[in-house]
Structure 1
Amino acid sequence: MNLDFIERLQRITLTSEEGEVITVRSDHREKILEECNLILIGRFFTAKPINLCAAKNLLRSVWKFGQDLKITDVGDGLIQFKFAMESQLLWVINNGPWSFDNHILLLRRWEKGMTTFSVQFLHIPIWVQIWGLPFDLINVEASRDIGSGIGCVVDIYCKAISSEQTYFFRIQVEMPIDKPIRRGALVISPEGDKYG
C-alpha cells in the first residue's frame, strides 16, 4: 500500500456536519407502518449458502400468493416477505414450519425499529405428535399440559381429538433453536400412572 495514501487517510477527521441530526418527515408514516405490519423476516437455519432464487421460487409455488407476495433479500442472510393481506401472513405462520433443501426457514414478524443487525431468531414453532396415550388422556387439557412440558404451546390440533379415528394428537410448540428436540418423554396421569 502507498505510504502517502496511508498518511492522508490518518489525517481524515469528521466534519461538523457529521454530528448533525437528520429528521425524517412523517407525511406517510401511518401508511408505511401499516404496510410493515404485513412483513415477515426470515432466515434459513444453516451455515451453508442457500440458492435464494430457487428458494424464492419454491416458496412462491407452495404458498400460492402470486404477485401479492414480495420476497426481498435484505442482506446478512435475511429475507423479507411482504404480504398483501394479514390473512396471507397468518396462513404462512400457522402452516409452518417451512423448509428448503432440508433447511428450516426461521420466521418472525416485523417489529418497529427492527434492523438487519438487530433481528434475532430464538425460537421455532414445530408440530409434535403424541402417540400411545390412554383414551382418557386424549383431550385438550392433557394436550396443553404435555405441550407445556415440551415448550411454549402455540396451537393444539383439536380435530384429531374430536375425530372418529384418534391414533395420536398434534401440538404446535415453540422451541428454542439452540435446544435439542426430544424424541420422547414420560407422561404421568393425574392418578400417577406412567405412560411413555
Structure 2
Amino acid sequence: MQSTLASVWHPIGGVSISDLGREKYLFHFYYEVDVERVMKNGPWNFNSHLLILHRWKTGEDPLTVQLHWVDFWLLIHDLPLGFMADTVAYQLGNFIGEFIEYDTVATQLGYKCIMRIWVRVDVRKPLKRKKRAA
C-alpha cells in the first residue's frame, strides 16, 4: 500500500503507513504541503476501496475516530446562467451534504452550465441525484 499510494501522491517528504488493525491505517506525512494536497485532491481509493481520510488532531485516539465523511468535488450540470452564484452553490452543497467550497474558476473558463462544488458527504447515506426547483 505504501509504495502504491506514494507513487500516486508524490509526497515531497515521503509517507509512512502504520496498520492499526480493524481496517484502519495511520498515514504520517513529513510536510504540511503533502497533507494539504492529499486532503484537497481526494477522494482516494486503494484496491477499489474508498479511503476515508481524517486529519488526526492531538489527543484523538485513531482507533475511535468515526470515519463517515468524505470530501468530494462534484459537478452540477445544466444550471441556468442566472444560477451560477455563491448562494446557489452553498444551497446545493448543503442539500447534497455539507458545503465546503465553490470553484469559480470553472465558470470563468467558460463552462457556464457547470458548477463545481466541494462537499463533505456522509458515506452512510445514499447519494442524492436530483433536486427539483420549488
TM-score above 0.5, yes or no? yes
**Higher helix proportion (structure 1 or 2):** 1
Counterparts in 2 of 1:148 and 1:116: CA distance versus 1, 3 Å: closer
Of residues 70, 74, 89 in structure 1, which corresponds to 2:16? 70
Displacement of 1:94: 0.5
Provide the C-alpha distance between the structure 2 equivalents of 1:146 and 1:57, rounded to a whole number of angstroms: 38
Say whether residues 1:142 and 2:80 are aligned partners: no
Displacement of 1:155: 1.7
Counterparts in 2 of 1:67 and 1:146: CA distance versus 1, 3 Å: closer
Displacement of 1:173: 0.9
For the aligned residue pairs, the C-alpha RMSD in angstroms reads 1.7
Say whether residues 1:111 and 2:57 are aligned partners: yes
| 8 Å contact from structure 2 (residues 99, 117) kept in 1 | yes
Q: Provide the TM-score with structure 2 as the length reference.
A: 0.88
| 8 Å contact from structure 1 (residues 146, 187) kept in 2 | no
Structure 1: gaps spanning 5 or more residues: 1-54, 189-196
Count of paired positions:
134
Displacement of 1:99: 0.7
Deviations 1:35-73 (A, max 9, x none): xxxxxxxxxxxxxxxxxxxx3322111101265211221
Structure having the higher Rg:
1
Provide the C-alpha distance between the structure 2 equivalents of 1:187 and 1:99, rounded to a whole number of angstroms: 34
Q: Provide the TM-score with structure 1 as the length reference.
A: 0.63
Structure 2: gaps spanning 5 or more residues: none
Q: Which runs of 4+ in 1 moved over 4 A?
A: none
| 8 Å contact from structure 1 (residues 123, 177) kept in 2 | yes
Provide the C-alpha distance between the structure 1 equivalents of 2:62 and 2:98, rounded to a whole number of angstroms: 26
Q: Return the letter of the residue paired with 1:117.
A: L
Secondary structure at the aligned position of 1:173 is classed as strand
Displacement of 1:116: 4.4
Provide the C-alpha distance between the structure 2 equivalents of 1:57 and 1:182, rounded to a whole number of angstroms: 35
Aligned residues with identical type, % of pairs: 28
Of residues 149, 156, 159 in structure 1, which corresponds to 2:102? 156
Provide the C-alpha distance between the structure 2 equivalents of 1:187 and 1:101, rounded to a whole number of angstroms: 39
